[in-house]
Homo-oligomer: A and B are copies of this chain.
Amino acid sequence: MENSIAQLTDKLLASYQEVGAINHLDGQNLPSKRVIVRITQELLCLLFPGFFEERPLRADEVRTVTARRLRSVATALEREVYRSLVYMPPPEYPKKSLRQAARSITLGLLESLPRLREILRTDIEAAYNGDPAALSREEVILAYPFVETIAVQRLAHELYLAKVPLIPRMMTEWAHSRSGMDLHPGAQIGTHFFVDHCTGTVVGETAIIGNHVKMYQGVGLVARSLAAGQALKGQKRHPTIEDHVTIYAGATIMGGDTVVGAGSTIGANVFLTTSVPPRSLVIQKDANIRVMPKGERTRHEPDIQI
């Protein structure tokens, strides 16, 4: 066996040399996946104090715990932001001053926390008010996957606006793996947002979502053909959803110039590729299903033998 291991090692090392693009062996400057997850979890604790702690948080220790946690996040995040700026320096920042940029971005994110808390409060209100199954706001925070995912997106969006590479997406993909909802850090999302059930819902990088928008599982705000791939970078590729719109499960809305007017409702499984005016109702036609007794299949539906 030991012989085989030696040979396997040689072959694998040769492959590390030859195959490009999937090695990172002098990786001092890539942010660490585990550290980003830990930072994200600590930021969630700062946003929702007392909810995600391992043990109950007493009121008289909140100051100490908060300061310690801010210090810990600040140190770790500054180092990871610096690594990501070194890895792929954005044109916005002079290459000489990346350390300063990392510090100022880090403080900027921490300073945004009170503002993000104001917005997240509206999301929790929307979740509680919109779901008759919700018992209380506490249940929404403790149990609903939506709260964690939107909180992470709003944090990541701050870093996205500050042009930090890698980290915003690493944060939202962690949330994605937990709730099944993929909110890109670039998406602009208004207040009082709520997505029920979450799984399978996708909101693309250039989507714009107004206030009081409610969506369900499996909704896609997606791009038209991406055949042009990287050439489309920077263009608005995803739809705009105006205020007070409801989008039911499984609906797909496509295209950067598609606008869903304020107050509209989009029915389940609808596939919409054009703009609709305010207060529209968009539904699948009854005509698209056929109900019949089993055994009375006609030759017109020969294919679906379900």
The distance from the CB of A132 to the nearest CB of chain B, in whole angstroms, is 4
Residue with the highest number of chain B CB atoms closer than 10 Å, among A6, A132, A270:
A132
- Whether B272 contacts A271 by the Cβ 8 Å rule is no
- Interface flag for A57 (CB, 8 Å): yes
A143 within 8 A of B: yes
Among B55, B67, B132, B170, the residue within 8 A (CB) of A231 is B132
Closest B-chain residue to A249, C-beta based? B220
Given A62-B25, A74-B1; A229-B303 close (CB under 8 Å): no
Contacts beyond the supplied A202-B249, A279-B293, A285-B289: 14 A-B pairs with Cβ under 8 Å: A21-B125, A25-B50, A27-B57, A132-B226, A132-B237, A135-B165, A136-B166, A182-B217, A248-B306, A252-B269, A265-B294, A268-B271, A271-B288, A280-B292
List A131-146 residues whose CB lies under 8 Å from chain B.
Answer: 131-139, 141-145
Whether A74 pairs with B217 at a CB distance below 8 angstroms is: no
Q: A243 interface residue, CB < 8 Å from B? A: no
Contact with B along A160-199 (1 / 0, CB 8 A): 0000011001100100111111101010000000000101
A224 proximal to B (CB < 8 A): yes
Decide if B267 touches A269 in the complex (CB within 8 Å).
no
